[in-house]
Structure 1
Amino acid sequence: MLAVLGILGASVGIMIIDMPSLWKKKMKKELFVFIVLLVLGMGLCISNALHIHIPNPLEGATTLFKPLSDIVLRLFK
């Protein structure tokens, strides 16, 4: 639980440092991307700290393309 609080504290610190300058410069798109990436990274770090299994995206791609690969290999044998 201490790790989660540390991650949240670090994220809030980053927001306090970076968000006002983006807001003053009226960089709304950059601010949106900053918030989305920060929340995504914070979520991944918290789930890692809580030992929650996050599936590897490569496993999904392998499951999707394995049948196609088998068909192509059979055609060229």
Structure 2
Amino acid sequence: MTTVIVGSPKITDTYEPYQEYCPRCQATHTTRIEQTRGNCWWITFVLGCVFFFPLCYWLCCASSKDTKHFCPSCGTLLAIRQGGC
């Protein structure tokens, strides 16, 4: 699937799909989400492995990952929720 970025995506505070207006489709949709490992996740992973192994348990949680909200119709990146730090 092709990802299209129209302007800059807004910062949101939710990890769950929600209703968002898509400027490309000019309609309101429930977002499609993808969770990815961001910079904070990798820093925590390295520090957890080197210094404090139980810290790595936190990395399994959805709140430790970045959540990207996309338009389900056209694939436009609408919002980002940065996880962790």
Normalised to the residue count of structure 1, the TM-score between the two structures is: 0.33
Greater Rg over alpha carbons, structure = 1
- TM-score, normalization: structure 2? 0.31
Which has the larger strand fraction?
A: 2
Structure holding more helix per residue: 1
